[in-house]
């Protein structure tokens, strides 16, 4: 690889790491502390996907019922 290719790859990886980190904090917030950031970071991707689906379903239910979410 050239230096430019390595720099581009490194930059892309940093962006992915930042997105994973942001998502894990967001999931922890939605879970109201029921799952810590560290717990989420140690979970397999499949479990994280399940949690995301549960959150999406709860948000949709909240919208339909017009119940407060926050």
Query: What is the per-residue pLDDT across 6-59, written as a single tens digit (0 to 9) for each?
Result: 999 999 999 999 999 999 999 999 888 789 999 999 999 999 999 999 999 988
DSSP letter, residue 31? T
Residue 17: which region, alpha, beta or left (left: phi > 0; alpha: psi -120 to 50)? alpha
Helix segments in 1-70, DSSP class H: 3-30, 37-41, 45-65
Number of structural domains found in the chain: 1
Q: Is residue 30 part of a domain?
A: yes
Q: Is residue 17 part of a domain?
A: yes
Q: Distance between CA atoms of 13 and 27, rounded to whole angstroms?
A: 21
- Helix-helix angle 3-30:45-65, to 10 degrees: 50
pTM over 0.85: no
Q: Is residue 70 part of a domain?
A: no
Q: Which domain holds residue 60?
A: 3-65
Q: Distance between CA atoms of 64 and 60, rounded to whole angstroms?
A: 6
Name the pLDDT band for 65 (thresholds 50, 70, 90): very high
């Amino acid at each position: 690889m050239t230096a430019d290719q390595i720099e581009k790859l490194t930059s892309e990886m940093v962006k992915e790491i930042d997105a994973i980190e942001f998502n894990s904090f967001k999931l922890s917030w939605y879970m109201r502390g029921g799952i810590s950031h560290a717990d989420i970071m140690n979970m397999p991707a499949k479990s994280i996907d399940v949690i995301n689906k549960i959150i999406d379903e709860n948000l949709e239910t909240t919208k339909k019922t017009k119940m407060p979410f926050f």
